[in-house]
Copies of this chain bind each other. A is one copy, B any other.
Amino acid sequence: MARTKEFNEDQALDKAIEIFWHKGYNGTSAQDLVTHLELSRSSLYDTFGDKQKLFSKALRRYQKQGEDNIEKLLDESTDIKATLTIIFKQAVLESLEDRITKGCFMVNSAVELAMHDEEIAKIVSDNRKTIEQIFFKAIKKGQNSGQISAQQDARILARFIFNNYSGIRVLARAGEKDKQFYGDILKAIFFIF
């Protein structure tokens, strides 16, 4: 039989997420990948097929990680409104702290590729539906416990939250560093609850 792999495929994927997230799909060259993943060209292509396959595999991994993250936070939450605030503040903090702002890998990929690549469009669409569903479930829970006003439909609120999350990620990617700016938006968002 053959020798075993000397690198961890998931670790390589995480590094692919990093570089694609930072530079985008078209902005990342094969050489960038070789350098950043610390793999040989041959290992890279043997393992992942081609650039597009590697990208969508990385994006899917990122999606899963993000979903698991906020789902866990909201499932374990006893105060939905507070947890939603935390989720938003996390997104803002990432924007303000990162020396290089990367925004959200999913938003970036949606803007760059969704209309030109069906598989990416599928991932982006799946992501939207799943995240919306997670928000919906959480808001429903908050409304049942009386923490969130039932005046607004939970579906509407979930979509509203999602939309503002996307918006913040764009501003982050654009390099917005004004704390007050994000603070203002958060104030407005949570006024509706």
Residues of B contacting A160 in the complex (Cβ-Cβ under 8 angstroms):
184-185, 188-189
Which of the residues B112, B125, B165, B192 comes within 8 Å of A188, measured between beta carbons? B192
Give the shortest distance, in Å, between A141 (CB) and chain B (any CB).
19
Residues of B contacting A156 in the complex (Cβ-Cβ under 8 angstroms):
184-185, 187-188
Of residues 143 through 193 on chain A, the ones whose CB sits less than 8 Å from some CB of chain B are: 152-153, 155-157, 159-160, 162-168, 170-171, 173-176, 181, 184-185, 187-189, 191-192
Q: How far, in angstroms, from A100 to B191 measured CA to CA in the complex?
A: 36
Copies of this protein, total: 2
Residues of B contacting A23 in the complex (Cβ-Cβ under 8 angstroms):
116
Considering only CB atoms, which chain B residue lies closest to A127 in the complex? B174
Q: A156-B187, A157-B188, A163-B171 in contact; A115/B100 too (CB < 8 A)? A: yes
Interface secondary structure of A, over-half rule: helix
Q: How far, in angstroms, from A28 to B107 measured CA to CA in the complex?
A: 20
Give the shortest distance, in Å, between A4 (CB) and chain B (any CB).
38
Considering only CB atoms, which chain B residue lies closest to A187 in the complex? B156
Give the shortest distance, in Å, between A106 (CB) and chain B (any CB).
9
Contact B115 A152 (CB under 8 A): no
Q: How far, in angstroms, from A74 to B114 measured CA to CA in the complex?
A: 33
Of residues 17 through 38 on chain A, the ones whose CB sits less than 8 Å from some CB of chain B are: 23-24, 26-27
Residues of B contacting A24 in the complex (Cβ-Cβ under 8 angstroms):
26, 112
Contact A174 B128 (CB under 8 A): yes
Contact A175 B128 (CB under 8 A): no
Considering only CB atoms, which chain B residue lies closest to A185 in the complex? B163
Instruction: Contacts A24-B26, A121-B174, A163-B171 known; list 4 others, CB within 8 Å.
Output: A111-B111, A152-B191, A170-B170, A188-B192
Task: Report the 4 A-B pairs with minimum CB-CB distance, sorted nearest first.
Answer: A160-B188, A26-B26, A167-B167, A163-B167
